[in-house]
Amino acid sequence: MADLNALKEAVIKGDRAGATKLTKELLAAGTPPKAVLDEGLVAGMAVVGARFKKNEVFVPEVLIAARAMKEAMTILEPVLVKAGIKPAHTAIIGTVQGDLHDIGKNLVAMMWKGANFGVVDLGTNVSPQRFVDAAQEHKASIVGLSSLLTTTMPAMKQAVVALRAANVTSKILIGGAPVTQAFAQEIGADGYAPDAASAVDVAKKLVTT
């Protein structure tokens, strides 16, 4: 008999086929879809995030776990939609203008999805105005800015300035290899996260303050 713990373990192991099969079995057995999400898939990604933070697992393991969760979500998502269950918070994410690096940004997006945030990924080379437009259109709780180049850190500041000037109320979280907590304070961002797992913790804290 499928159980939620087995689903959690399948995500941790990155077992795509297992995660999909268990999701189907749990739903067929009448398990509430929200429990399948929270106690199975999200719980599994939370373990992977915590291990990633402690350097017990690395980027490939996170990507493999996220892929297992994504595949199981294709089964679960229509059921959640039918039941009217939506993520409580929407997050916008993108790499700032002039910057094409997206591996770290994608990891943050995956971890956010794993924590049940609705995520709108704007991709790379995102202008300040696109961040503003997307935050307003999606009524985002969080806007995440990623930068991997010292030369694009000023574009991060421009995005923050544009969001504030447009009176966007979303919390702004920044990250990326050259970025620091001090820089976040300097440009008026609400938070900084050094890695994708911390980005979940910081985003959760920001949406409740």
Binding site for ligand B1M (CB under 6 A): 59, 93, 98-105, 107-108, 144-146, 148-151, 173-178, 193, 195-196, 199
For ligand B1M, give the closer residue by CB, 29 or 100: 100
DSSP 109-171: HHHHHHTT-EEEE--SSB-HHHHHHHHHHHT-SEEEEE---GGGHHHHHHHHHHHHHTT--SE
* Beta carbons of 195 and 53 less than 8 angstroms apart: yes
φ/ψ of 144, rounded to 5, equals: -105, 125
Number of C-alpha atoms within 13 angstroms, CB side, residue 82? 7
**Shortest distance, position 85 Cβ to ligand B1M, whole Å:** 25
Rounded to whole angstroms, the Cα distance separating 65 from 126 reads 27
Q: Which residue has the tokens 């969080």?
A: 142
For ligand B1M, give the closer residue by CB, 72 or 159: 159
Handedness of CA 120, 201, 105, 77 (dihedral sign): negative
For ligand B1M, give the closer residue by CB, 20 or 152: 152
For ligand B1M, give the closer residue by CB, 76 or 134: 134
For ligand B1M, give the closer residue by CB, 32 or 87: 87
**Shortest distance, position 43 Cβ to ligand B1M, whole Å:** 20
**Shortest distance, position 159 Cβ to ligand B1M, whole Å:** 11
**Shortest distance, position 62 Cβ to ligand B1M, whole Å:** 8
**Shortest distance, position 100 Cβ to ligand B1M, whole Å:** 3
